[in-house]
C-alpha cells in the first residue's frame, strides 16, 4: 500500500522508479504501465518536473541560469506538491495504481550532490506520499554514461551540473555530478528501503523481476469493468490517461 506521511494507508498503490540518468527507469516503467493496463488495472502516470504550475518559472530559471541549489530544490518540491495534490493523491484515494518516473529520492540525490543539506531536503519533502515500492535501478557510472551520451545532443547547463563548478567541461562535469548522485543513491538504499534492481541486466529480465515484486501487491487495486472501449484504449496504451472515465464520481466534481 501507499501511505500518507502520518502512516495512514491509502487504498491505491504507488510504484516509483529511481536511478541515475540512463539507468533505464523510463524504459522499465513504460513496460510496466503497458502490462498493468493490459491486466485491466486503472493506472495513472506522473513524471518528475512535469507540473504546469512551475513550468514557466523553471524554464526561465534554467535559461537564465538563475537557479541556486536551494531554489532549484524548492521549485522541484513545488512541482511534486502540485502533482501530489492534483494527480497522485486523488488516484491513490480512488484505489488506482500510480506510476511515478522519479520521486523524492531524485531530489535527495541531486540536491545533496549540489551541496544542499541532506536533513533539510528530507524535511522539505515531508508532505510526499510514501511509495508502495521504490525501485532503484542500479547501474555503474560508465554504463549509464555510455547509454546517455551515445547519440545525445549537447548536455544542458543544469543537467551537466555546470552550476556547481566541478569542471568547465560539460562532459566531465556531468560524469562527476552523476558520480556524486550515484553515491547518494547507494547511501539511500538502507535509509529508505529502496528495492534494488540490477540495471545492467537485459531489459526483459529486469521487467520480469519488477513484475514478480509487484504482483503480490496488486491485491485490491482498482480494476475497470471489462468493456469494449476499454479494450480499444488498452490496445493503444492510453487507458491510464482516461482514469476519470472509469471514475465518473470524480469527474463530476
Ligand atoms: N537494460 C538495458 N540495457 C541496455 N540499454 C538499455 C537498457 N535499458 C534501457 N536502455 C537504453 O538506455 C537508454 C536510457 O534508457 P531510459 O531512457 O529508460 O533511462 P532513464 O533512466 O529513464 O534515463 P533519464 O534519467 O535520462 O530519463 C535508452 O537508449 C534505452 O534504450
Ligand atoms: Mg527517463
Is residue 27 in contact with ligand 1, taking CB distance under 6 Å?
yes
Cβ < 5 A residues, ion ligand 2: 26
Residue 252 alpha carbon to ligand 2 centre in Å: 33
- Maximal CA-CA distance, the chain: 57
Question: Is residue 3 a part of any domain in this protein?
Answer: no
Question: Is there a domain that residue 249 lies in?
Answer: no
Q: Supply the mean pLDDT for the chain.
A: 91
H-run or E-run covering 130: none
Is position 157 within any domain? yes
CB 185, CB 136: distance < 8 Å: yes
Question: Is 60's C-beta closer than 6 angstroms to any atom of ligand 1?
Answer: no
In which domain, by residue range, is 79 found? 13-243
- Read off the pTM: 0.90
Instruction: Tell me what percent of the residues of the chain surpass a pLDDT of 70.
Output: 89
User: What angle (nearest 5°) sits at the alpha carbon of residue 73, between those of residues 149 and 12?
Assistant: 90
Q: How far is CA 182 from CA 127, 137, 154, 167, in A?
A: 25, 11, 22, 18
Per the domain annotation, does 5 fall within a domain? no
- The reply to whether 64 falls in a domain is yes
Q: What is the mean pLDDT of residues 44-58?
A: 96
Domain tally for the chain? 1
Query: Domain for residue 222, yes or no?
Result: yes
Assess whether the C-beta atom of 109 lies below 6 angstroms from ligand 1.
no
User: What are 116-174's pLDDT values in tens digits?
Assistant: 999 999 999 999 999 999 999 999 999 999 998 887 778 899 999 999 999 999 999 99
Residue 122 Cα to ligand 2 midpoint, Å, equals: 23
Give me the pLDDT at residue 191, please. Answer: 98
Does residue 110 fall inside a structural domain? yes
Q: For the segment 189-202, what is each residue's pLDDT rounded down to a tens digit? A: 999 999 999 999 99
User: What average pLDDT does range 63-80 have in this prediction?
Assistant: 97
Ligand 1 atom closest to the Cα of residue 28 is: 18
pLDDT confidence band for 233 (50 / 70 / 90): low
Question: What are the DSSP calls for 162-196, one per residue?
Answer: GGGTS-SSHHHHHHHHHHHHHHHHHHHHHHHT-EE
Q: Distance from the CA of 19 to the center of ligand 2, in angstroms?
A: 9
Q: Cell 502490462, residue?
A: 35
Q: Which protein residue has the closest C-alpha to ligand 1 atom 8?
A: 24
Residues 72-98: tens digit of each pLDDT: 999 999 999 999 999 999 999 999 999
User: For the domain that residue 168 is a member of, what is the CATH number?
Assistant: 3.40.50.300
187-216 mean pLDDT: 98
* Residue 223 included in any domain: yes
Q: Mean pLDDT, to the nearest integer, of 66-75?
A: 97
Q: Specify the pLDDT at position 76.
A: 98
Lowest mean pLDDT among 64-73, 107-116, 220-229: 220-229
C-alpha cell at 161: 551540473
Amino acid at each position: 500500500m501507499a501511505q500518507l506521511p502520518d502512516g495512514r494507508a491509502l487504498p491505491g498503490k504507488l510504484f516509483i522508479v529511481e536511478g541515475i540518468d540512463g539507468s533505464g527507469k523510463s524504459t522499465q516503467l513504460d513496460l510496466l504501465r503497458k502490462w498493468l493496463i493490459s491486466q485491466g488495472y486503472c493506472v495513472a502516470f506522473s513524471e518528475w518536473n512535469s507540473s504546469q504550475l512551475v513550468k514557466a518559472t523553471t524554464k526561465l530559471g534554467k535559461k537564465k541560469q538563475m537557479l541556486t541549489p536551494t531554489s532549484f530544490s524548492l521549485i522541484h518540491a513545488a512541482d511534486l506538491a502540485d502533482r501530489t495534490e492534483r494527480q497522485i493523491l486523488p488516484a491513490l484515494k480512488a484505489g488506482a495504481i500510480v506510476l511515478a518516473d522519479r520521486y523524492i529520492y531524485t531530489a535527495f540525490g541531486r540536491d545533496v550532490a549540489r551541496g544542499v543539506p541532506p536533513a533539510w531536503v528530507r524535511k522539505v519533502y515531508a508532505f510526499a506520499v510514501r511509495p508502495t515500492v521504490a525501485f532503484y535501478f542500479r547501474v555503474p557510472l560508465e554504463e549509464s554514461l555510455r547509454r546517455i551520451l551515445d547519440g545525445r545532443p549537447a548536455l544542458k547547463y543544469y543537467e551537466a551540473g555546470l552550476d556547481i563548478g566541478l569542471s568547465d567541461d560539460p562532459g566531465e562535469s556531468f560524469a562527476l555530478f552523476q558520480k556524486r548522485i550515484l553515491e547518494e543513491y547507494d547511501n539511500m538504499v538502507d535509509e529508505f528501503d529502496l528495492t534494488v534492481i540490477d540495471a545492467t541486466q537485459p531489459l526483459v529480465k529486469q521487467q520480469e523481476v519488477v513484475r514478480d515484486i509487484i504482483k503480490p501487491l496488486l491485491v485490491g487495486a482498482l480494476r475497470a469493468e471489462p468493456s469494449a472501449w476499454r479494450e480499444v484504449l488498452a490496445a493503444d496504451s492510453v487507458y491510464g490517461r482516461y482514469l476519470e472515465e472509469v471514475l465518473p464520481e470524480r469527474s463530476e466534481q
